[in-house]
């Protein structure tokens, strides 16, 4: 008969177990930053070294990006912030700072003689919804940060006054929107040089934006949504034919929502964006279907086949979603495990499923030039945030005297809710234009957490965001090094059109022939896309890593702050 362990042995074992559990519950002891621009990373570092937490640093990054990436985000836009707060249990929050349609918006405002007029939902103030980012920054400071808002905004104010150097990404985005920027005198004055894209290294200074940021720093949300800034915004919008009123700005509020959470295998949990993002649902559905398929042991083309088929099915359901304050989202049904098992079982192991054989869903447009960053501090507070003004330089309209480039997020609504396209009606109605409504989005800041590990993911890229995040998550789930997560070659399927979009070099010629033989139509986009920023905290090994997408200019780093 085996000897029973002594009381001392039992107590020692219990103490060791408690110590191990405590070690996993503690923060990483260091901070990690991954942003798409060196100046934004420097702003985060400055705030963390001043004693700020991840939420203070998120304010600094968001504001710095508003200065140096006017093409991707800014005070005239909005975004989503996914937050992690350490504790037992860990708490997750989601700040929905998506823009809202102005009070005078109507379902038919972009129709003329029954036909969609896309130009007016893209360029000029009629394309702009009420911005949400300034309110989110004030919320973060008031409810989550350690430092006053003025401290966290100081790096961005300094950047706006002193200027920043034009880089290759700025030149590329400005060239894409050159005609629209030229059409607006204030945008041309600020962001062009004699009507042309500035040369590399040219300095862009924005003193008016510095004043706007300073008012936000001094007075919080009222410094933007009321007072002289609000008056200048409304005056500028109305003078150019827009619909904004002072009440629209005063009434804007962020929405604090419960993140979408979905249990994965191996004690992992997906924590992601809920509606008005469609991305979290698509990720949860895709990961759930992949768990029923042998993707990890599959050769490359077979793995791509599995990914394309789960994306096809997940994107089909996107049209059922909309702003939860205005429509009922059938998330329990879409994430029901029996439903997802059925979707996985409907995948032919060898052949593509024609999208025409599946029930229809509506089409949508969404700009793909957004921005994303991720942060974690020494205590384990973390932020993954995706911000946008929609198309590069938003509506290409800057309100005089403010330096604020307005978004064109109204273009993310279904411009024709009566479904003049061939893709169906129900989903279009869910995302139809309505006063005060937030348009549907694909922005998908996400975490995957388990007792042993924590990861953060996210990228710009419009409708391709969920597929990019999925591919990066698969790298993580397959045990690949962190640097490969944002670098993985990208391909995409969104149900309709029934086409596989991909970056140059994603597939070899032999792989292309194999995919085509399976029934896929391939489209080489001729360019790379996305700009992912990721974090990996291995709690068990007590290591912390960050990585930035090699396609962009981003800088990631791990630093001591204690």
User: Catalytic residue positions?
Assistant: 370
Q: How far is CA 253 from CA 69, 209, 247, 321, 553, in A?
A: 24, 22, 12, 21, 32
Closest to 367 measured CA to CA, from 292, 264, 440, 283:
440
Token pair 């060898």 in the structure block, residue: 350
Interatomic CA distance for residues 134 and 116, integer angstroms: 31
Judged by DSSP in three states, 524 sits in strand
Q: How many residues does the chain have?
A: 562
Interatomic CA distance for residues 521 and 525, integer angstroms: 13
- CA-based torsion, 63, 64, 65, 70: positive or negative: positive
What DSSP state is assigned to residue 507? Answer: S
Q: How large is the angle between the packed helices 149-162 and 133-143, nearest 10 degrees? A: 140
Per the CB < 8 A criterion, the answer to whether 318 and 361 are in contact is: yes
Judged by DSSP in three states, 226 sits in coil
All residues at 6 or more sequence positions from 315 whose CB lies less than 8 Å from its CB, including other chains: 282, 361, 463, 466, 493, 494, 495
Other Cβ atoms within 10 Å of 499 Cβ, number? 14
What six digits make up the tokens of 151?
């401290």
Interatomic CA distance for residues 284 and 470, integer angstroms: 9
What DSSP state is assigned to residue 473? Answer: H
From the CA atom positions of the chain, what is the Rg in Å?
24
What DSSP state is assigned to residue 407? Answer: P
Per the CB < 8 A criterion, the answer to whether 94 and 80 are in contact is: yes
Return the bridge partners of 100, or none: 130
Per the CB < 8 A criterion, the answer to whether 435 and 105 are in contact is: yes
Closest to 417 measured CA to CA, from 406, 407, 429, 409:
429
């Amino acid at each position: 008969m085996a000897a029973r362990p002594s009381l001392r042995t039992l107590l020692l074992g219990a103490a060791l177990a408690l110590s191990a559990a405590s070690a996993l519950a503690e923060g990483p002891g260091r901070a990690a930053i991954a942003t798409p621009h060196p100046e934004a990373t420097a702003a985060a570092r400055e705030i963390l070294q001043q004693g700020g937490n991840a939420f203070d640093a998120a304010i600094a990054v968001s504001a710095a990006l508003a200065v140096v990436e006017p093409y991707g985000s800014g005070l005239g836009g909005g975004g989503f912030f996914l937050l992690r707060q350490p504790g037992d249990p860990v708490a997750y929050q989601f700040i929905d700072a998506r823009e809202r349609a102005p009070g005078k918006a109507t379902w038919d405002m972009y129709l003329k003689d029954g036909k969609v007029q896309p130009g007016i939902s893209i360029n000029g103030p009629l394309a702009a919804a009420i911005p949400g980012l300034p309110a989110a920054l004030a919320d973060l400071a008031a409810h989550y940060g350690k430092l006053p808002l003025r401290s966290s905004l100081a790096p961005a104010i300094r950047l706006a006054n002193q200027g920043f150097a034009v880089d290759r990404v700025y030149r590329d985005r400005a060239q894409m929107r050159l005609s629209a920027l030229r059409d607006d005198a204030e945008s041309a004055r600020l962001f062009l040089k004699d009507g042309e894209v500035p040369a590399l290294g040219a300095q862009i200074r924005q003193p008016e934006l510095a004043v706007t940021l300073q008012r936000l720093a001094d007075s919080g949300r009222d410094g933007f949504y009321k007072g002289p800034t609000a008056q200048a915004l409304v005056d500028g919008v109305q003078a150019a034919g827009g619909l904004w009123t002072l009440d629209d700005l005063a009434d804007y509020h962020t929405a604090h929502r419960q993140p979408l959470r979905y249990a994965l295998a191996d004690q992992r949990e997906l924590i992601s964006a809920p509606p008005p993002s469609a991305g979290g649902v698509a990720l949860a559905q895709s990961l759930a279907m992949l768990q029923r398929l042998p993707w990890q042991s599959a050769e490359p083309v077979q793995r791509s086949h599995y990914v394309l088929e789960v994306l096809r099915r997940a994107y089909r359901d996107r049209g059922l979603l909309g702003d939860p304050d205005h429509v009922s989202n059938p998330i329990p049904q879409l994430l029901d495990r029996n439903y997802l098992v059925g979707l996985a079982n409907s995948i032919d192991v060898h052949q593509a499923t024609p999208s025409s054989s599946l029930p229809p869903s509506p089409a949508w447009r969404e700009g793909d030039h957004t921005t994303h960053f991720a942060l974690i501090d020494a205590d384990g507070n973390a932020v993954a945030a995706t911000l946008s003004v929609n198309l590069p330089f938003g509506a290409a309209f800057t309100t005089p005297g403010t330096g604020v480039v307005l978004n064109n997020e109204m273009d993310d609504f279904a411009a024709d809710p009566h479904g003049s396209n061939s893709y169906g009606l129900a989903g279009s109605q869910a995302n139809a234009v309505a006063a005060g409504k937030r348009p549907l989005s694909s922005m998908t800041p996400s975490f995957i957490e388990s007792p042993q590990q924590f990861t953060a993911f996210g990228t710009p890229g419009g409708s391709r965001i969920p597929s990019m995040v999925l591919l990066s998550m698969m790298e993580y789930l397959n045990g690949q090094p962190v640097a490969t997560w944002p670098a993985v070659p990208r391909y995409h399927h969104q149900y309709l059109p029934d086409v596989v979009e991909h970056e140059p070099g994603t597939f070899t010629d032999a792989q292309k022939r194999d995919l085509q033989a399976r029934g896929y139509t391939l489209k080489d986009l001729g360019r790379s896309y996305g700009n992912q920023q990721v974090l990996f905290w291995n709690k068990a090994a007590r290591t912390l890593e960050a990585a930035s997408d090699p396609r962009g200019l981003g800088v990631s780093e791990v630093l001591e702050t204690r």
